[in-house]
Structure 1
């Protein structure tokens, strides 16, 4: 059985490869792909098959997916190129005769109205139209989206956002990677749609309170109109397009589009998901 993981040079892709190996999948059955194979050469040294795959280059995808049984399609990062990239990868998977494509989508991609959800919904629809079994791994936010901002929270004494009292079911990348590895290494998942998220959802005000408790420094949450959040983010140096996507995502969070109470993630991985408090404690070490 050959399992291909796209984006192996990225954080989620690398963690998924590691999770597959930890589950006992032979290294020779794991194919790690990415645009720059030098970034994960160490996997080849451990026996993992390493192949170049560029989503803008269909020939590279055909070569990378050759002989694949299952494929994990990790969504690409450039929003305006995402759907076209995904379609090329899906077409290459179909041509390679894979038995299953697992796609890392987004919470409630079929009904959510954010900019990001639009691209995931378009990919899901295209994938369902292709003659290949599929499974949707609808990931909520990463806890790392927040822990990466800890220095800023502490510097300014504030968490800012536009999410109101919305709750986000964030989980760690490692949790999502473990779930992907389970789906890829076991049977019975074709046709499934998994709404994946942490066991303990939280508001951004609760995020601020948890940071306060962990650091002993008073951190408050300031809720802003979306346009003011964009101004704050661009003022901090973020590109305008990215700031708009982040503010739009916060509005979706406020509408409940990043919340799930399904329990799918903890059931798949067979353990509780990483909590916000655990993630913050780990990041502060």
Structure 2
């Protein structure tokens, strides 16, 4: 059985490859990436795979039995790209398609949700056996910027007391590797989130403990927060997107307490405190 991973050189994809190697022979893993040279040293086959070159996709999927479609990162273009991959998977005879979607995509107010929902529908309509992994927020969405927060001395946001049930990328990658290497997950949808939930105030407190300095959380209206992000150098659409995710947090879109992720991987998920400590070590 050959397993293909799209976006295998990305942050999540690299973790999936690592976790798959613990469960499968390297010769059965295929990295599907824009630049195969990036996968040198991984000891696995790498094939050129570009979402924006739809005519080339089916050929790259030849011999792939299971395919992990890691969602693209071009908001507004993603469904078109995903649809091309799904069509190619049909043509190539892929037997099982696994997709990284969004936590409660059918109810979320996040701007990301519609393209994920469209993709889920296209996968189900394709006739290919599927597994939908509705991933919640990654701890790294916050921790990768923690050094900037510390240098500013304040954590800004617009999520109020909204709760976040995030987990580490490694946790979500392990879930994907389990689904790809087992046969008991066909035609299932998993809502995946961290075991522990926290607010931005809680997160600021965790940072403060680690650096032994008070880092307060200051809540701003969404427009004001977006403007602050813009002033910090983010392009206007990116700033608006990030501010919007904070409002979605306030709406409860990043909160979940079903613990499906820890059940799937057979261990507790990585807490935000652990990820923070790792980032600052």
- Give the TM-score, by structure 1 length: 0.96
Q: Which residue of 1 aligns with 2:80?
A: 84
2:193 is aligned with 1:197: yes
Q: Which residue of 1 aligns with 2:139?
A: 143
2:11 is aligned with 1:11: yes
Output aligned runs, 1:228-247, within 5 Å: 228-247=224-243
2:51 is aligned with 1:55: yes
Output aligned runs, 1:133-172, within 5 Å: 133-172=129-168
Structure 1 segments of 4+ aligned residues over 4 angstroms from their partners = none
Output aligned runs, 1:1-285, within 5 Å: 1-23=1-23, 25-43=24-42, 46=43, 48-285=44-281
Q: How far apart are residue 224 of structure 1 and its match?
A: 1.1
List runs of 5+ in structure 2 lacking aligned partners.
Answer: none
Q: How far apart are residue 97 of structure 1 and its match?
A: 1.3
Answer whether contact 1:141 1:171 (CA < 8 A) is retained.
Answer: yes
Q: How far apart are residue 60 of structure 1 and its match?
A: 2.5
Answer whether contact 1:116 1:245 (CA < 8 A) is retained.
Answer: no
Measured against aligned partners, the alpha-carbon deviations of 1:62-121 in whole angstroms (never above 9, x if no partner) come to 122111111100011110211111110111111111111111011110111221112211
Q: How far apart are residue 59 of structure 1 and its match?
A: 2.8
Cα distance in 2 between the residues matched to 1:145 and 1:283: 12
Cα distance in 1 between the residues matched to 2:92 and 2:148: 46
Secondary structure, counterpart of 2:41 in structure 1: helix
Q: How many residues align?
A: 281
Secondary structure, counterpart of 1:98 in structure 2: coil
Cα distance in 1 between the residues matched to 2:101 and 2:236: 24
Measured against aligned partners, the alpha-carbon deviations of 1:174-228 in whole angstroms (never above 9, x if no partner) come to 1100000000001111121111111101111100001111110111111111111
Cα distance in 1 between the residues matched to 2:145 and 2:238: 16
Q: How far apart are residue 260 of structure 1 and its match?
A: 1.3
Measured against aligned partners, the alpha-carbon deviations of 1:227-265 in whole angstroms (never above 9, x if no partner) come to 111101111111111111111111111111111111111
- Give the TM-score, by structure 2 length: 0.98
Secondary structure, counterpart of 1:253 in structure 2: helix
Task: Give the CA RMSD over aligned residues.
Answer: 1.0
